[in-house]
């Protein structure tokens, strides 16, 4: 029988992966740590360490299941440092004439595999709930796509939180009960930290020596096996899920994690599967361990937002990455890479990102994302930053979140209006402003919170695009009713802030 190579990528660490299920006797599984994947963006060192450590553990796990595995370590002298290079090398070594793999998540890698001189057969990635053709069929002919309706389809498809054909509890969405502002009693027991074993410690040393990227390795405590990822999930369901909904938008300077699950890297690497995660959350509802608003909110993030983002990314193809609907061109301010800042919220969000490769959704959307959008930063630079610094960042999920949801660069495919706010929102949802050099209540002047003037400056400079948006008309009416000299001062302050940022001055 002709030997085939079964390529397993770093985010395909699932024993039930379609390519592994289709492998036959004699086939060789190829896994490779390569420079090209570790540096197509300047990934946070914790992210590289997580991928390599989890890949090594997974290779051991499937060897124990009986697979033949050819594994390339990063510092293997024969390493060609690209995925296709490693396919060619192992094909020669094993006399293989064909490759099979589960379809890669990113357009980037799909294109490379399409151009591989050895034919690559791809199988669908069945770990997702919605298939690529199913999403395309759902989207076809619709003028406007909305996540909420897609989510209902996924509820029907999975049977999650359903009673017959009706939503459990009589409603599809319990968001009205969620989103409480920050309060000191939201501090929760820290999420579990998995002390690196000798093999993972070796990977951490390798990454420390080889990659000089933004981010610290010191706090590395991510699960690198499925069993530890399941323990992390159990910890979340027991200790944090009951409070998840109410606290999901809150931000506290003293707690980077609050009631968040910290499972996105495990889902994205394939250590956990979306359906099993949701089923465990649903079980907590039925045993009375968590309320409906928490469980529904959590399940919506996974079978709703996560699947929807993937669907949009695949539907729009690689051209989506170049979108820049608002024509933003500014450079990313140095604060994003750890430079000094007088803004307490930016300092906190970037600081915890550097320390843990993690920030939760509202920090990403309403602090760092909001600031980049108001400052007119080029969306590809914003995307590169998010793709680099977060532990869970893969292009298929990062690009629609950054370019679509956060930066409105897709012109409204994902968000019906831009996610922008003045300092008042951040003040309401966090305790950051108390420790800030700026005054969140001041609208103009040197000490005024930068979000305040930049918010109105953004609305003013994009008036033609947004004034007729039904969800934004009220804000334009508020602006138009302000005294003309106040508006002029706000715009002058906004100009001055943008000029300072352009000159690389600390804001
Ligand atoms: P929780 O808040 O506990 O949520 C539970 C799960 O829901 C997450 O683990 C995640 O799998 C899923 N989820 C929630 N919201 C989203 C969403 N918008 N898109 C996809 N999945 C979602 N998520 C990534 O996985 N990778 C990224 O690169 C990424 N980049 C983002 C960039 C921006 C600008 C924004 C606003 C959001 C981004 N997200 C990304 C979505 C979200 O912020 C993270 O999934 C979440 O913070 C992960 O932490 P958690 O596991 O504690 O999540
Ligand atoms: C993110 C990542 C990193 C850092 N390194 C590797 C690697 O060395 N080898 C590998 O197979 N995968 C890695 N990955 C995950 C890939 O980037 C991911 O599979 C693609 O982006 C999905 O298309
Ligand atoms: Fe951020 Fe403004 Fe609050 Fe300072 S005052 S923490 S800049 S929102």
| DSSP assignment string, 381-410 | HHHHHHHHH-TT--HHHHHIIIIIIIT-TT
Dihedral, CA atoms, 180, 415, 130, 20, nearest 10 degrees? -90
Which atom of ligand 1 is nearest to 390's Cα? 28
CB 386 within 8 A of CB 393: yes
Phi (first) and psi of residue 187, to 5 degrees? -60, 135
253 close to ligand 3 (CB < 6 Angstrom): no
Q: Which residue ranges in the chain fall short of pLDDT 50?
A: none
**pLDDT for the residue 371:** 98
Judged on CB neighbours under 10 Å (0-12, 13-18, 19+), 24 is exposed
Q: Which residue's alpha carbon is nearest to atom 8 within ligand 3?
A: 423
Pick from 296, 361, 369 the residue to mutate for probing ligand 1's pocket: most ligand atoms within 8 Å of its CB: 361
Nearest ligand 1 atom to the CA of 264 is: 9
Ligand 3, from 367, 439, 451, 452: best to mutate by most atoms within 8 Å of Cβ? Answer: 451
- The residues near 194 (Cβ < 8 Å, ≥ 6 apart) are 221, 222, 223, 224, 228, 231, 232
Closest by CA to 218, choosing from 232, 200, 204, is 204
* Closest C-alpha residue for ligand 3 atom 2: 449
Q: What is the spatial distance between Cα 57 and Cα 38, in angstroms, rounded to a whole number?
A: 18
What is the reported pLDDT for 177?
Answer: 79
Cα separation, 95 vs 117, in Å, equals 14
Distance CA 333, CA 320 (A): 24
Q: What is the pLDDT of residue 187?
A: 60
Cβ of 438 less than 6 Å from ligand 3:
yes
Domain segments of the chain as ranges: 4-123, 132-196+221-315, 334-502
Distance 357 CA to ligand 3 centre (A): 22
Tens digit of each residue's pLDDT (9 = 90 or more) over 77-108: 999 999 999 999 999 999 999 999 999 999 99
Residue 460: half-sphere exposure toward Cβ, Cα within 13 Å: 17
Q: Is the CB of 369 under 6 A from ligand 1?
A: yes
- Does domain 334-502 correspond to CATH entry 1.10.579.10? yes
The confidence score (pLDDT) of residue 285 equals 97
Q: Closest Cα partner for 463 from 471, 453, 473?
A: 473
Separation of 425 CA from ligand 3 center, angstroms?
10
pLDDT of amino acid 176: 82
**Consecutive H or E run containing 138:** helix 132-139
Beta strands at 162-163 and 166-167: parallel, antiparallel or unpaired: antiparallel
- Closest C-alpha residue for ligand 3 atom 3: 433
Instruction: Give the integer Cα–Cα distance in Å for 410 and 420.
Output: 15
Which one of 11, 32, 122 would you pick to mutate in the ligand 2 pocket, going by the greatest count of ligand atoms within 8 A of its CB? 11
Report the distance separating Cα 173 and Cα 300, nearest Å: 8
Residue that has been written with the tokens 């600081």 in this structure: 351
Q: Tokens 């093999």, residue?
A: 199
pLDDT of residue 62: 98
Which ligand 2 atom sits nearest the alpha carbon of residue 38? 4
pLDDT at residue 183, as a whole number: 74
Distance, CA of 80 to CA of 68 (rounded, Å): 21
Cβ contacts of residue 2 below 8 Å, gap of 6+? 96, 97, 98
Q: How far is the CA of 128 from the centre of ligand 3 (A)?
A: 38
Q: What pTM was computed for the model?
A: 0.98
CATH class of 4-123: alpha beta
Fold of the domain built from segment(s) 132-196+221-315: 1.25.40
68: helix, strand or coil: strand
Residue 1: predicted pLDDT: 54
**Residue 244: closest CA among 199, 272, 277:** 277
Ligand 2 atom having least distance to the Cα of 36:
8
Tell me, yes or no, if the two domains 4-123 and 132-196+221-315 fold the same way. no
**Amino acid 34: pLDDT:** 98
Which residues lie below 8 Å from residue 31, measured CB to CB, with a gap of 6+? 8, 9, 10, 55, 58, 59, 69, 70, 71, 72
Ligand nearest to the CA of 409: 1
Within 10-106, residue ranges assigned H as helices are 18-21, 35-39, 45-64, 83-94
């Amino acid at each position: 029988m002709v030997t085939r190579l079964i390529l397993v990528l770093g985010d395909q660490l699932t024993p039930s992966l379609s390519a592994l299920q289709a492998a036959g006797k004699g086939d060789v599984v190829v896994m490779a740590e390569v420079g090209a994947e570790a540096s197509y963006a300047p990934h946070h060192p914790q992210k590289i360490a997580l991928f390599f450590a989890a890949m090594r553990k997974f290779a051991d796990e499937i060897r124990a299941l009986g697979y033949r595995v050819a594994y390339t370590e990063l510092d293997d002298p024969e390493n060609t440092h690209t995925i296709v290079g490693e396919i060619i090398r192992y094909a020669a070594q094993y006399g293989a004439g064909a490759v099979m793999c589960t379809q890669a998540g990113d357009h980037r890698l799909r294109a490379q595999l399409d151009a591989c001189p050895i034919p690559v057969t791809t199988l669908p990635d069945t770990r997702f709930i919605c298939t690529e053709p199913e999403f395309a069929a759902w989207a076809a002919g619709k003028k406007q796509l909305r996540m909420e309706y897609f989510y209902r389809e996924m509820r029907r498809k999975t049977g999650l939180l359903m009673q017959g054909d009706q939503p459990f509890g009589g409603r599809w969405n319990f968001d009205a009960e969620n989103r409480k502002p920050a309060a000191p009693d939201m501090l929760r027991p820290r999420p579990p930290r998995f002390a690196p074993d000798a093999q993972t410690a070796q990977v951490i040393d390798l990454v420390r020596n080889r990659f000089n990227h933004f981010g610290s390795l010191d706090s590395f405590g991510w699960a690198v096996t499925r069993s530890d990822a399941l323990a992390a999930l159990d910890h979340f369901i027991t200790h944090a899920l009951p409070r998840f909904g109410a606290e999901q938008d809150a931000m506290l300077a003293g707690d980077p994690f609050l009631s968040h699950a910290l499972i996105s890297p495990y889902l994205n690497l394939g250590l956990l599967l979306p359906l099993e995660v949701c089923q465990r959350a649903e079980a907590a509802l039925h045993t009375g361990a968590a309320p409906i608003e928490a469980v529904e909110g959590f399940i919506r993030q996974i079978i709703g937002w996560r699947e929807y983002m993937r669907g949009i990314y695949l539907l729009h193809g690689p051209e989506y990455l170049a979108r820049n609907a608002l024509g933003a061109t500014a450079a990313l301010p140095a604060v994003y890479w750890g430079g000094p800042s007088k803004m307490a919220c930016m300092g906190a969000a970037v600081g915890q990102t550097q320390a843990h490769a993690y920030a939760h959704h509202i920090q990403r959307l309403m602090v760092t994302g909001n600031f980049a959008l108001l400052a007119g930063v080029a969306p590809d630079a914003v995307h590169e930053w998010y793709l680099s610094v977060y532990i869970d960042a893969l292009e298929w999920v990062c690009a629609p979140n950054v370019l679509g949801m956060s930066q409105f660069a897709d012109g409204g495919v994902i968000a019906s209006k831009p996610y922008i706010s003045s300092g008042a929102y951040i003040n309401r949802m966090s305790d950051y402003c108390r420790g800030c050099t700026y005054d969140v209540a001041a609208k103009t002047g040197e000490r005024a919170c930068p979000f305040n003037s930049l918010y109105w400056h953004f609305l003013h400079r994009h008036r033609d695009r947004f004034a007729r948006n039904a969800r934004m008309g009220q804000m334009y009416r508020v602006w138009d009713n302000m005294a003309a000299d106040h508006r002029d001062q706000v715009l002058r302050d906004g100009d001055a802030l943008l000029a300072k940022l352009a000159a690389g001055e600390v804001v």
